[in-house]
Each structure stands twice: as structure tokens, then as C-alpha cells.
Amino acid sequence: MSSPRSLSPAARATRRPTLGLLVSATLVTAFAAGCRARPDMAPRPLRLAPSVADTVRTDPVAPGVQLHTLVNTAAPWRAYVLDVDLRCNTLQAVKGATVAQGRLTTSQLLATLPRAPRAMPVAAVNADFFLFAPPGVPTNAHIERGTLISGPDVKPVFWRGDNGALGFDTLRLDGSLKTRGTTVPLQGWNRPAARTTGIVDRHWGVPLDTVVRRQAFRLDPAPGITNRMVHPGIHGRFVLRAARASDTLARGDTLLLHAPRDVASTLRIGDTVTVQALIWGTGPGRAEAGVTEAVGGRPILVTDSLVARDADTEGAESFRNLNPRTVMGLDRAGTRAWLAVIDGRQAGVSMGMTLRQSAELMRALGATRALNLDGGGSSALVLATASGQTRVVNRPSDNGTERAVANALAVLGTCRP
């Protein structure tokens, strides 16, 4: 896709507001879009030092997917690790809805995915931390099949690019609203907050609260423009309207704009404005890739095969200490992923892991980079059965009952049988 910035003024005037996302990160080809033929999927034995796990049991799940059950009786802890060959599988964010709010169990989220020969649901783990009010809104970006549902926060995400690249990165918004020679920077996209300037589209799905609504405007697609959808990003022309009492949700192609008083005072009702919004990764030496999937987590546990400092400093001590965990790791080549759930709060059986222990487990498995996902009672690893049902592999800490969560990260088989 050509960058909206490279378009001539005439071309810009004939484009529909376009939706999409761009991320910058070190690119690694992962062949995640699917295989024409199945590569060698021979089971890979997992050998861990006795100090890591007393016993290791490996079971085949699907082509290129194995389930390792690890037990450490001294700690004690019990971990379940999906070992995924990304040459014949891909990873997809799953919300289970077209809007940001709402909660489903990991089993229910996996069950929402259609069974298709080149995208067969295999398994899923819970993903991002979430809000209880509004219920089930991920605390970070959720991008699913190229559509941004919730906007980025300052914490890291796992992302997959349209070229097969994979990574852990912090996303940022590069956006603006231009009118009458004035450019207003956008600070949020589907992440409304008081005293910030941002936009909300139909995928947010959460009514604006009273404080944000006081300085809200409606952005209607400008008439006379030939509309054309191109993924990913927002780039288009809109007419600025005063928000009506009913404009608490964005609908269709209309956007809502929220702005603090000093910014709102520079805007004129009836003006045609140009809105541009792109999502980028941060960090030096990055190359450009389009984002198709993203789920949030915190903190990054492993970077360049070393335990990251945040594993010892993130959050309160109670957060860093023993807890049920959901963790994911990637190898350097981006062709292998590990999705691990560690049971916890089960005296004498599995007490969980600290953040540092989770990082060390990822390193022992072979990950050169790893991210902590939501844990505690949310931690769940679910397999899809041959009959289309689901099976929870671990024992969630809420008395063995799955907790409804914001989203999940699913494994889809992409090779031909």
C-alpha cells in the first residue's frame, strides 16, 4: 500500500477515509500466512535441565504444534507449553466481537473462529489485561485481521505484520486533523480520555463518558468523495459537526472527535477537515510493516536472550511474585513461538511463577524474546478438539473455572493436510 503522505492533493480528494495500521519493527520473515506444502513437522524432543523441570511430557496437537507438560516438584509448579512451528501455523488476536467491550472465556473465544482448511483453529491462550468498567476493554491495542478495535497504550504488545514479521513493541499513534491551515495532533484512536485530542470509530463501541462528551464533535464523511476502503490506516476528509445528544457512539463511517477546550476553540463547525492516523512501533533502526494482529501485555520479559530489567521492576511486588502466568516467547528467526500457561495458587501442586522465573523458563525453552500476558485467574490454555469442541488443558486458579477475559491469542493451522 502506498503511503497516504505520498498522494497528490487531487488523489487525496478522491479517496475514501481509509482504515489501517502501520508498525515499525525489525523484520523477520515468519511464513505465517500459510504454507503451500507442509514442511517437515517431525516432533521435536524437549530437553530441559533437571533444575528447570523434573518431568517433561510431550504430546502432538496438530501439524507443527506440540504440547509440553512440565512439572517441577520442588517449587512446586506445573506448566503447559504450546510449541508452535510458525512455518505451518499462524497467530491471530481474537476479541469475539466487533467492538472493544465485552468478555468471553478463552474457550468461547476460540470457538468463535470458523473452521477452514487453511485457517483451522488449533488452540488459544488468554491475552491482554482488561478493564472491569467498561467491561472487558483491553488495556492496550487489539488489532484483529487488520482492524483496530482498541487503541494503543504505553505498554508493549505482540504484533504480527502483513509480511509475516513478528515482534514485541510499544505502539504509538501518528495522527493529525488539518483544517484552515491549522494542524492539530491526535493523541488517541479508540482510547478516549479527558483532556486529550483523539478520534473514535465504530469499533470502539463504548459510549463516551460525560466528561469526554462535553468537548465532542461529529466527523461526517465529506460529500462528493468517491469512497474506497484500503487497509490499513485512517486517511480521509470529513465535515466537522456539532455532536448531538445521541452522539455517544460512532456509527458507520462517521467518527467522533474529542478535544480539550483550548483545541476545541480553534475548530469551526462546518469546516472540511483532513484526518490521518497511523499506528507505528517505536525504537531505533526499525523498518516498516503493516500490522494485522496485536494484543497487549506487560512487561517484556526477555530481550536478545537476556532477562529484561522490567522482570524485576514492573508493577507492585505482589504482581512480580508467585502468580499463575500466561507468557509467550519467540525465537530469533520468528519461525517458532511458545505459548505457556503456569498454574498457580494451588498449594502443594503449583504455586505459580515470579516474572523472573517466567523469563527464565522462556529462555530455557529457546525464546530470545518474551512477553508476559494477563495472569492470575485469567490464565487459560485451551485446545480445539477434532469434533469442533474445546478443552481446557490447565487448571485455572478460580476453583478450576475459566474466567471471562477481554481477548485471546489463537493458533491457526495454515498448511494443507
Q: With cut-offs at 50, 70 and 90, classify the pLDDT of residue 38.
A: low
Give the model confidence (pLDDT) of 128-171 as tens digits: 999 999 999 999 999 999 999 999 999 999 998 877 888 898 88
Structure confidence at residue 230 (pLDDT): 46
Structure confidence at residue 291 as a pLDDT band (50, 70, 90): confident
pLDDT higher than threshold 70 for residue 31: no
Alpha-carbon dihedral sign for residues 175, 177, 178, 182: negative
Looking at the chain, the whole-number percentage of residues with pLDDT higher than 90 is: 76
- Provide the residue range defining the domain that includes 118: 1-417
Choose between 342 and 280: higher pLDDT.
342
Q: How many domains does the chain have?
A: 1
- Average pLDDT in the 376-405 region? 96
Query: Looking at residue 39, what is its pLDDT?
Result: 62
Burial of 262 (0-12, 13-18, 19+ CB in 10 A): exposed
Given a cut of 80, whether residue 69 has pLDDT beyond it is: yes
CA torsion 383-384-389-393 (nearest 10°) is -10
pTM over 0.85: yes
pLDDT for res 161: 82
Q: What pLDDT, on the 0 to 100 scale, is given for residue 198?
A: 97
pLDDT, tens digit (0-9, with 9 covering 90-100), for 48-65: 999 999 999 999 999 999
In terms of pLDDT, which residue wins out, 171 or 307? Answer: 307
* Residue 68, amino acid: H
User: Mean of the pLDDT values across residues 301-323?
Assistant: 97
User: Could you give the 3-state DSSP secondary structure of residue 409?
Assistant: strand
Instruction: Tell me what the pLDDT averaged over the chain comes to.
Output: 88
pLDDT at 227: 39
Model confidence at 27, in pLDDT bands (50, 70, 90)?
very low
**What pLDDT, on a 0 to 100 scale, did the predictor assign at position 365?**
98
Contact 198, 192 (CB under 8 A): yes
Instruction: Output 32 or 37, whichever has higher pLDDT.
Output: 37
Q: What is the pLDDT of residue 302?
A: 98
Return phi, psi of residue 127, to 5°. -125, -100
Is residue 182 classed exposed, middle or buried when 0-12, 13-18 and 19+ CB atoms within 10 A define those classes? middle
Q: What pLDDT, on a 0 to 100 scale, did the predictor assign at position 11? A: 38
Residue with cell 533502526: 285
What pLDDT does residue 116 have?
87
